[in-house]
Amino acid sequence: MATPIGHAEDITLRALKTLSSADVIACEDTRVTAKLLARHGIERPLLSYHEHNAERMRPVLLDRLRRGESVALVSDAGTPLISDPGFKLVRAALEEGLPVTTVPGPSAPLAALLLSGLPSDRFLFTGFLPPKTAARRTALAELAEIKASLVFFESAPRLAAALADMAAVLGPRPAAVARELTKLFEEVRRGSLAELAARYAEEGPPRGELVVVVGPPVAEAAPEGAALDRQIETALASMSIKDASAAVAAATGLPRREVYARALTLAGRG
């Protein structure tokens, strides 16, 4: 049986029991997991399984599962299978009819959502945004109309730029940046996207793993005339007509076709 388990300071009794009884433990870094096992007096064989060796190691683990052995899959941080190659192992096991279960534990995206103070009745986890500004803004424009809280992973060096792009594309939404969740130096900062972007641009990249939560679109009175034109022109300064129209339509609630037609005129193509 394959069992995904995540590292955490508050590891559960069920997770410790699972690790103790596993025939083999597959993990991202054997050194990290060895420390966890030593802390709890557990001695089990370890195998390395991560994105760089997954294609080679997956058949090895599947073969052990076919022989009736139990394999515990452990991630260094967060929950296995979330932005993690473990999902391919689970998918392959399920395709062969091999039993799979999970030991629930801390999840950074869910913890960030709960601590953000933002609506949690509808949310979308999208993983990492593209690293380049143009591609990132295009991706954000595609998400702009979704009426739900948005949850992202982000790297520390790109955080300030990503928040600035979110502010430009998604508008003045409330947001939260959560750092090192479920760990010793857990921290959550809240504010508008623009405020958070300015704060991290001034302070520099924070340390640790990050989750960004952005609130859903805020319903406002739709701008008209000159106000709408200014909003479209601001978007056109950094985006294509299509992406700018999508972003403005999402921010204002106006029909995308109507905004697109006005954007064509302002861009000199109408």
- Band of residue 11 on the pLDDT scale cut at 50, 70, 90: confident
Task: Identify which of 145, 74, 83 has the alpha carbon closest to the alpha carbon of residue 105.
Answer: 74
pTM of full prediction above 0.75: no
Task: Give the span between the Cα atoms of 137 and 139, in whole angstroms.
Answer: 5
CB 98 within 8 A of CB 67: no
pLDDT in tens, 149-190: 999 999 999 999 999 999 999 998 999 999 988 777 889 999
* Backbone phi and psi for residue 19, each to the nearest 5 degrees, phi listed first: -65, -40
Nearest C-alpha neighbor of 203 from the set 185, 177, 166: 177
Domain extents in the chain: 2-95, 108-214, 225-266
Query: What pLDDT score was predicted for residue 108?
Result: 87
CATH superfamily, with its number, for domain 2-95: Tetrapyrrole methylase, N-terminal domain (3.40.1010.10)
CA distance 4 to 100: 9
Q: What mean pLDDT comes out for the span 29-34?
A: 92
What ranges make up the beta strands (E) of 55-200? 71-75, 123-128, 149-154, 174-179, 187-192
Architecture of the structural domain at 108-214: 2-Layer Sandwich (3.30)
- Token pair recorded at residue 119: 């609506």
pLDDT band, residue 265 (cuts 50/70/90): confident
